[in-house]
């Protein structure tokens, strides 16, 4: 049973992706994608029901699995090398050779025929990641069915590129499942590089100049992490003279006398995780990835790629607990959290806000891994779960809105609630789940701040970053419900309460501009519902999913940082009452609905511009000097003059590099 479920999780997406590439019928391709998504979801749920397990496959079709992985690894690296020569990019060529040559020397000379048992170690953390990848990732792929048809229609393509697109999109899921299951570091490295290659191909999918440029940047930055990964593997063997420590579980549970020897390889692996999760100074590859079609952005941010980086750092946390490296990882993550949050405040591009928000939240997860207490690890895992669902939802919403209005600028979404109430409402739900109580993302930040109390500079950065996130989320949510009132015939007559229920449980809204395709509606509604339900179920998620992970990290030493009750979680210094706050929120919403009914007709007033306004307040004009009509622009303040991306990114990158140099300087010494 276990063998079959692991095969479904890893091999089925590979086979389905290949079929998507070979089959030209869009209907058959859609059926394959939906069927694969359902199969992955069922497989993930069944694996979770079985619980922690291990497995070491020996052969596939009569061929040794280790040899297959090795051959596939070198084959992939040579494909990337060929692409690098085609691009004419010396940096990518160099970084690829810096992996091929040392890896060949290691596998052929230093440690040929490495056998690690078990090859797959599936504990609670791997099961959580498998659920995220298989469920959220599948919904993103299903969303892509109709989205990519519309996308290619907008581009006026004569020949569809969807077969190639869905090959890499679906393959991504199998690679990620293989990555989180792998205990053999060489196997983990192979799946790691597959995700790098898939992201490169997907970011550059549209083949425009900017798409190719950003895909190339993503490739070389992640290949930098690949070089660090190979160096870590060689360093582990060199320092221990044993292939035993190429087992991830053996590495993180090493004996105390080896702690000093293993700090360098652990730091190198953390560095690989930093590049993959787009931490500063590597944030530009993820921001550049926003040129890709929306399903790519959603998949990169929610369930694949960047989650691989934080997964690795959280997985390694027991191996460097109580060390200098742990403190530096916490500092680095907190610095990324506050700086990326500040950059998000500066953005009006919706996808860039989401990108910097993702970078910030991943930084917070890494900071929690560095703080490395039970409370911090719990916060990190909960944040991985809630961020995956909410951020996947928000990217799909922005993609839907962009197709409808032709813009991803949040200023163009002002008053969008009037014309697209369903999508606007779901987007607002996604935003609120990222910033307000009683939702899980805020609860995770509360846990992180409490856990960071013993590292003063970290707690200051986490608190400041949390405040900045509220600023850019609240500003965005407010835009949807602001703006001029529509003409009477354009306004739907359903009540706000009925509209919300229709949106959540029927997935549409009368008279709204809403895509009728189930592949668009179903993922949005399921993710929005999931974001709410998961937050309501926090006490049970903590008890059933997360607490066993931390208990297994420190068997016999675990001190429960939080206690669960009927209403929420409590700790020694505070409480987070989930269900009572939900009830208060529902009551507040109902009161707001009643107040809006009594509010009467709204009066539209334009900003005062020291002159007579144009008779139509929806047209921003005023009478200026010489009796002339002048246009004006009214919008939010983005603090460009203080924290503009072009002003502070350079200094952020310099400071982050200094932190990394200090980190490596100490572990090398």
Lowest mean pLDDT among 349-353, 447-451, 486-490, 591-595: 486-490
Q: What is the pLDDT of residue 169?
A: 96
Instruction: Say which range, 452-466, 536-550, 582-596, has the weakest mean pLDDT.
Output: 582-596
* pLDDT band per the 50, 70, 90 thresholds, residue 453: confident
The residue ranking higher by pLDDT, 114 or 119, is 119
For the chain, helix, strand, coil in percent to 5 are 75, 5, 20
Q: How confident is the model at residue 603 (pLDDT cuts 50, 70, 90)?
A: low
Contact 165, 299 (CB under 8 A): no
Estimate the crossing angle of helix 137-155 against helix 294-302, to 10 degrees.
160
Tokens of 478: 């407010």
pLDDT value at 635 more than 80? no
Give Cβ neighbours of residue 104 (< 8 Å, ≥ 6 apart). 74
Q: 279 by DSSP, 3-state: which?
A: coil
Determine phi and psi for 623, rounding to 5 degrees.
Answer: -80, 125
pLDDT at 599 over 70: no
Q: Mark 58-86 as b/e (b = at least 16 C-beta within 10 Å).
A: eeeeeeeebeebbeebbeebeebbebbee
Domain definitions of the chain by residue range: 1-240
pTM confidence score: 0.91
Quick: pLDDT tens for 61-81. 788 899 999 999 999 999 999
Dist. CA 664–CA 411, nearest whole Å = 43
Per residue in 146-166, pLDDT tens? 999 988 888 888 888 999 999
Residue 599 CB neighbours (<10 A) = 8
The whole-number average pLDDT for the span 265-284 is 95
Q: Bigger pLDDT: 364 or 571?
A: 364
Checking if the pLDDT of 280 tops 90, the result is: yes
Q: What are phi and psi of 621, to 5 degrees?
A: -140, 150
Q: Name the pLDDT band for 543 (thresholds 50, 70, 90).
A: confident
75 has which bridge partners?
none
Does residue 576 register a pLDDT over 90? no
DSSP 8-state symbol, 621: E
* Mean pLDDT (the chain, rounded): 86
Determine the pLDDT at residue 555: 61
Smallest CA-to-CA distance from 285 within 653, 661, 659, 663 is with 653
DSSP string computed for 220-274: HHHHHHHHHHHHHHHHHHHHH--GGGGBHHHHHT--GGGHHHHHHHHHHHHHHHH
pLDDT in tens, 487-541: 333 433 344 444 444 444 444 444 444 456 788 889 999 999 999 999 888 888 8
Per-residue pLDDT tens over the stretch 12-49: 999 999 999 999 899 999 999 999 999 999 999 999 99
In whole angstroms, give the CA distance from residue 152 to residue 572: 55
The per-residue pLDDT for 157 is 81
CA–CA dist 245, 253 (Å, integer)? 10
Average pLDDT over residues 645-665: 92
In the chain, what is the straight-line distance between the N-terminal and C-terminal CA atoms, in Å? 48
pLDDT above 70: percentage of residues in the chain: 88
**pLDDT at residue 605, as a whole number:** 64
Nearest in space to 385 (alpha carbons), one of 280, 332, 314? 314
Q: Using CA atoms, how far apart are residues 256 and 493, in angstroms rounded to an integer?
A: 69
pLDDT at position 632 is 64
Q: Please, what sign has the CA dihedral across residues 553, 559, 564, 570?
A: negative
Average pLDDT value for residue range 120-134: 95
Mean pLDDT for the stretch of residues 296-308: 86
Task: Give residue 168's pLDDT band: very low, low, confident or very high (50, 70, 90).
Answer: very high
What is the pLDDT, as a whole number, of residue 508?
Answer: 40
The average pLDDT across 249-253 equals 91
Q: Cα dihedral sign for 148, 153, 156, 162?
A: positive
Band of pLDDT at residue 583, cut at 50, 70 and 90 = confident
Residue labelled with tokens 């009830």: 583
């Amino acid at each position: 049973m276990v063998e079959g479920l692991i095969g479904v999780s890893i091999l089925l997406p590979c086979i389905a992706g290949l079929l998507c590439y070979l089959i030209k019928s869009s209907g058959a391709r859609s059926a394959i994608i939906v069927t694969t998504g359902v199969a992955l979801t069922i497989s993930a749920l069944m694996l979770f029901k079985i619980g922690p397990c291990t497995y070491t496959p020996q052969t596939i079709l009569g061929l040794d699995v280790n040899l297959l992985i090795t051959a596939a690894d070198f084959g992939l690296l040579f494909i990337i090398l060929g692409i690098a020569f085609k691009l004419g990019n010396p940096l990518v060529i160099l970084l690829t050779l810096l992996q091929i040559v040392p890896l060949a020397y290691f596998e052929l000379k230093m440690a040929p025929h490495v056998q690690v048992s078990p090859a797959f170690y599936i504990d609670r953390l791997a099961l959580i990641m498998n659920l995220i990848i298989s469920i959220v990732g599948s919904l993103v792929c299903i969303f892509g069915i109709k989205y990519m048809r519309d996308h290619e229609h907008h581009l006026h393509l004569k020949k569809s590129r969807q077969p190639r697109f869905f090959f890499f999109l679906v393959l991504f899921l199998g690679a990620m499942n293989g990555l989180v299951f792998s205990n053999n570091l060489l196997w983990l490295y192979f799946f790691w590089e597959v995700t790098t290659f898939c992201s490169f191909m997907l970011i550059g999918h549209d083949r425009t100049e900017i798409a190719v440029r950003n895909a190339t940047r993503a490739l070389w930055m992640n290949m930098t992490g690949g070089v660090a990964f190979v160096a870590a593997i060689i360093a582990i063997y060199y320092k221990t003279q044993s292939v035993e420590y190429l087992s991830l579980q053996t590495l993180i549970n090493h004996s105390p006398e080896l702690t000093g020897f293993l700090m360098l390889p652990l730091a190198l692996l953390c560095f690989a995780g930093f590049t993959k999760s787009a931490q500063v100074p590597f944030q530009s590859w993820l921001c550049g990835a926003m040129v890709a079609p929306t399903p790519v952005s959603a998949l990169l941010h929610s369930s694949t790629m960047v989650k691989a980086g934080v997964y690795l750092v959280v997985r390694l946390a027991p191996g460097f607990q109580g060390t200098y490296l742990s403190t530096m990882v916490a500092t680095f993550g907190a610095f990324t959290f506050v700086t990326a949050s500040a950059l998000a405040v500066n953005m009006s591009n919706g996808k860039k806000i989401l990108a910097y928000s993702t970078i910030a939240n991943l930084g917070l997860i890494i900071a929690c891994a560095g703080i490395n207490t039970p409370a911090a690890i719990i916060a990190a895992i909960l944040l991985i779960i809630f961020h995956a669902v909410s951020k996947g939802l928000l990217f799909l919403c922005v993609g839907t809105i962009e197709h409808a209005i032709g813009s991803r600028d949040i200023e163009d979404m002002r008053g969008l609630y009037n014309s697209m109430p369903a999508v606007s409402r779901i987007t607002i739900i996604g935003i609120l789940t990222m910033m307000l109580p009683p939702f899980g993302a805020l609860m995770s930040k509360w846990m992180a701040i409490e856990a960071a109390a013993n590292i003063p500079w970290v707690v200051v950065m986490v608190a400041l970053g949390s405040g900045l996130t509220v600023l850019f989320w609240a500003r965005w949510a407010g835009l949807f419900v602001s703006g001029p009132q529509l003409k009477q015939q354009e306004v739907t007559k359903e009540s706000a309460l009925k509209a919300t229920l229709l949106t959540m449980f029927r997935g549409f809204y009368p008279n709204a501009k809403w895509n009728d395709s189930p592949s668009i509606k179903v993922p949005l509604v399921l993710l929005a519902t999931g974001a709410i339900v998961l937050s309501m179920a926090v006490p049970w998620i903590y008890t059933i999913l997360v607490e066993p992970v931390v208990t297994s990290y420190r068997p016999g030493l675990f001190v429960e940082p939080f206690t669960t009750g009927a209403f929420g979680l409590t700790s020694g210094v505070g409480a987070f009452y989930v269900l009572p706050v939900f009830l208060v929120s529902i009551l507040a919403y109902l009161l707001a609905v009643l107040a809006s009914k009594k509010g009467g007709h709204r009066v539209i007033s334009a900003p005062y511009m020291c002159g007579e306004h144009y008779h139509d307040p929806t047209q921003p004009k005023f009478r200026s000097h010489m009796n002339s009509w002048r246009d004006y622009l009214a919008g939010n303040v983005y603090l460009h003059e203080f924290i503009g991306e072009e002003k502070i990114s350079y200094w952020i990158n310099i400071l982050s590099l200094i932190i990394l140099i200090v980190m490596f300087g100490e572990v090398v010494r």
